[in-house]
Amino acid sequence: MSTLKQSNLKIAAVQYDIQWLDKNTNFKKLETMIGDFFEGHEAIDLLLLPETFSTGFCLDDSSVKEAEDGGTDLIWLKKMAAAHNCVVAGTVFVKQGDKKANRFYWASPDGSVEYYDKRHLFRLGNEGDFVSQGKIRKIFEINGIKILPQVCYDLRFPVWSRNRQDYDLLVNVANWPAVRRSVWDTLLKARAIENQVFVVGVNRVGDDGLGVDHSGGTTVVDFTGESLIGAKDNHQQVISIELDFSALEKYKRSFPAYLDADDFEIG
């Protein structure tokens, strides 16, 4: 078990209707929603946005990819992180060879940036035809609290999520369709229970440019699988919560199931 430098983390998650291929509108909408949120709340540590927050999940348009240095999307993320003094994170498509990466950017208020590239590509939507597969599992950290980033379809694959006692919180940002919403709800709880961690799932609402409906389901789940807070379905909303990681450590001491986990390696 990790030794935490601090026991609490304040998190906010934005559920909204991403406008198809309209970055300026999405940036303005997010700035308004986030600005309104901060007018009524104290400082937070981490602000999470849905997958492909600036464009929607558009695979086959070759223009939908930022430069390898992150382009305008990363500039905007860094600006928001500095303005609100918190980590701001979400995914964008970034040029990678003759394809693109579905890149989860983690922008800190000091201007530093880390990233994770989505590992599991959605075969049913032919994502692999346009997107390069991420190879490296990443762990990010805020004040000693270790965080595993994931993107949408990654949620279905428990081996990639397996807690090696190297993280305390799993975050998954998604464009998860309404037709499979019950799967989203179930897997978020399953990943929390089996890994004995907090889980935050961030999803969009509304129809995308392909006519796919999204109902939301943005939520925070504790290490027993109980939902602590959730956004209203089909509603644009910022939710926030302060998580107590000392409660997680206490729970793992009283119920140390992780000690019986199988050893394994990912190829």
pLDDT in tens, 190-226: 999 999 999 999 999 999 999 999 999 999 999 999 9
Single pTM value for the model: 0.96
Report percent pLDDT > 90 for the chain. Answer: 88
Structure-model confidence comparison of residues 154 and 267, the more confident one: 154
Token pair, residue 26, equals 């999405």
Token pair, residue 8, equals 């609490």
Per annotation, catalytic residue among 65, 152, 189, 252: 152
pLDDT at res. 3: 52
Decide: 19 and 25 in contact? Cβ < 8 Å: yes
Count other C-beta atoms under 10 Å from residue 212's C-beta.
15
φ, ψ at 36 (rounded to 5°): -65, -40
Looking at the domain assignment, is residue 265 inside a domain? Answer: no
Concerning whether 99 is annotated as a catalytic residue, the answer is: no
Question: Which CATH number goes with the domain that contains 213?
Answer: 3.60.110.10
Task: Show the domain range for 103.
Answer: 8-257
pLDDT at res. 1: 52
- Under the banding of pLDDT at 50, 70 and 90, the label for residue 62 is confident
- Under the banding of pLDDT at 50, 70 and 90, the label for residue 9 is very high
Concerning whether 86 is annotated as a catalytic residue, the answer is: no
Among 172, 248, 130, 159, smallest CA distance to 13 is for 172
pLDDT at res. 65: 83
pLDDT at res. 209: 93
Looking at the domain assignment, is residue 262 inside a domain? Answer: no
Looking at the domain assignment, is residue 207 inside a domain? Answer: yes
CB burial of 20-44 (b: ≥16 within 10 Å; e: otherwise) equals bbebeebbebbeebbeebbeeeeeb
Domain count, the chain: 1
Per annotation, catalytic residue among 78, 100, 118, 146: 118
Looking at the domain assignment, is residue 2 inside a domain? Answer: no
The answer, yes or no, to whether residue 114 has pLDDT greater than 80, is yes
Report percent pLDDT > 70 for the chain. Answer: 97
The answer, yes or no, to whether residue 36 has pLDDT greater than 90, is yes
Q: Which residues on neighbouring strands pair with residue 170, listed in sequence order? A: 148, 199
Concerning whether 10 is annotated as a catalytic residue, the answer is: no
Looking at the domain assignment, is residue 176 inside a domain? Answer: yes
- Under the banding of pLDDT at 50, 70 and 90, the label for residue 6 is low
